[in-house]
């Protein structure tokens, strides 16, 4: 990571892995103009996946210290950043407390506030993809490949659904290493509390794509399969082999919208034959950015303004 120098103009930071390749670079100035804040600049901060805690602390301390650093959007590093720098925040929003992650860093009356926006942004996107009562209609399960920040957020979103028909009977999570699985399991148990959960969870530690194919093959028709590993963008490849067979009438959601997107290509190859709905992470991206910009710049984004921002984003995608 390059050293951050004191900003000379109001600056919004974007903390990710390959930020220069994101559509947000082109989108941001258009959004600032639409919101009447064209003086605000965007600066990307690229960190390796699971970077050293000191690097996360340096970025958060910089934002905290510099008056012209307005705040930040955090992607990929949402869990590691909060684990490394929680003491640098003055307060955390309720979703940040529930999920242990921060995707929005904002300043309010001189206090540094961390929020998790994925349960709302990811949740709005998932609801738009599935429509109301999807699990009641389809009987499908959820296979979440990856147990990082987005997986936690989407699990929380589904657990907080009021209607039975919006809750899957089973939610299977696969992660290559144990700590993230344990963290997700803790969140699920805490959230379920004494009243329990309508959804049964399976937590599987696995880093073998052939085993993932087998888990996929065991899903009922109509299941929802999510690539929340970052593979196909942050790292090469797919968590599945090219021999994987998706469930008939299923929904396949790749959380990213850029990169090689190998997992999404695997699903597209079977889209017609198996009647799959295949969706990328574009809408998730637009919701996520609008949520964080609303916190950092202290602006309300109405439905009509959101529609305008989405249109501007689509033009430079």
Residues at the contact surface with ligand NAP, assessed by CB under 6 A: 75-76, 78-79, 118, 145-151, 174-177, 180, 207, 228-231, 233-234, 239, 255-257, 281, 284-285, 288
Nearer to ligand NAP among residue 86 and residue 275 (C-beta): 86
Nearer to ligand NAP among residue 231 and residue 276 (C-beta): 231
Minimum distance of ligand NAP from residue 60's CB (angstroms): 17
Q: Where are any strands of DSSP class E within 47-93?
A: 69-74, 91-92
Minimum distance of ligand NAP from residue 184's CB (angstroms): 9
> What is d(CA 108, CA 90) in angstroms, rounded to the nearest whole number?
10
How many CB atoms within 10 Å of residue 68? 12
Nearer to ligand NAP among residue 7 and residue 77 (C-beta): 77
Minimum distance of ligand NAP from residue 84's CB (angstroms): 14
85-91: long-range contacts, CB 8 A cutoff, minimum separation 24: 85/53, 85/56, 85/57, 85/60, 85/61, 86/114, 88/57, 88/60, 88/61, 88/64, 88/112, 89/60, 89/113, 89/114
For Cα atoms 113, 38, 312, give the angle at the middle one, nearest 5 degrees: 95
Nearer to ligand NAP among residue 7 and residue 231 (C-beta): 231
Minimum distance of ligand NAP from residue 65's CB (angstroms): 26
* Position closest to ligand NAP via CB: 148
> What is d(CA 117, CA 123) in angstroms, rounded to the nearest whole number?
9
Minimum distance of ligand NAP from residue 7's CB (angstroms): 24
Nearer to ligand NAP among residue 229 and residue 266 (C-beta): 229
Q: Where are any strands of DSSP class E within 47-132?
A: 69-74, 91-92, 104-108, 111-115
């Amino acid at each position: 990571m390059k050293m951050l120098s004191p900003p000379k103009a109001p600056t919004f930071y974007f903390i990710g892995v390959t930020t220069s390749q994101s559509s947000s670079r082109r989108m941001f100035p258009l959004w600032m103009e639409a919101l009447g804040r064209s003086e605000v600049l965007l600066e990307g901060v690229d960190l390796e996946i699971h970077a050293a805690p000191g690097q996360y602390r340096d970025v958060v301390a910089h934002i905290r210290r510099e008056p012209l650093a307005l705040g930040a959007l955090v992607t990929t590093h949402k869990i590691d950043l909060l684990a490394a720098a929680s003491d640098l925040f003055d307060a955390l929003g309720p979703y940040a407390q529930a999920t242990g992650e921060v995707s929005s860093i904002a300043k309010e009356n001189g206090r540094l506030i961390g929020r998790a926006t994925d349960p709302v942004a990811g949740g709005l996107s998932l609801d738009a993809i599935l429509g109301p009562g999807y699990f009641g209609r389809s009987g499908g399960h959820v296979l979440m490949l990856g147990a990082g920040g987005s997986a936690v957020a989407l699990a929380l979103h589904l657990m907080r659904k009021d209607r039975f028909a919006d809750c899957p009977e089973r939610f299977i999570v696969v992660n290559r290493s144990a700590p993230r699985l344990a963290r997700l399991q803790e969140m699920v148990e805490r959230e379920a509390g004494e009243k329990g959960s309508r959804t049964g969870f399976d937590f599987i530690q696995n880093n073998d794509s052939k085993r993932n194919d087998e888990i996929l093959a065991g899903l009922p028709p109509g299941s929802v399969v999510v690539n929340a590993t970052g593979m196909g963008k942050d790292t090469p490849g797919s968590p599945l082999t090219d021999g994987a067979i998706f469930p008939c009438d299923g929904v396949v959601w790749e959380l990213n919208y850029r990169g090689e997107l190998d997992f999404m290509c695997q699903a597209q190859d079977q889209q017609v034959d198996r009647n799959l709905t295949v969706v990328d992470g574009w809408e998730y991206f637009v919701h996520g950015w609008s949520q964080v910009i609303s916190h950092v710049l202290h602006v309300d984004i109405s439905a009509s303004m959101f529609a305008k921002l989405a249109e501007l984003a689509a033009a430079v995608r």
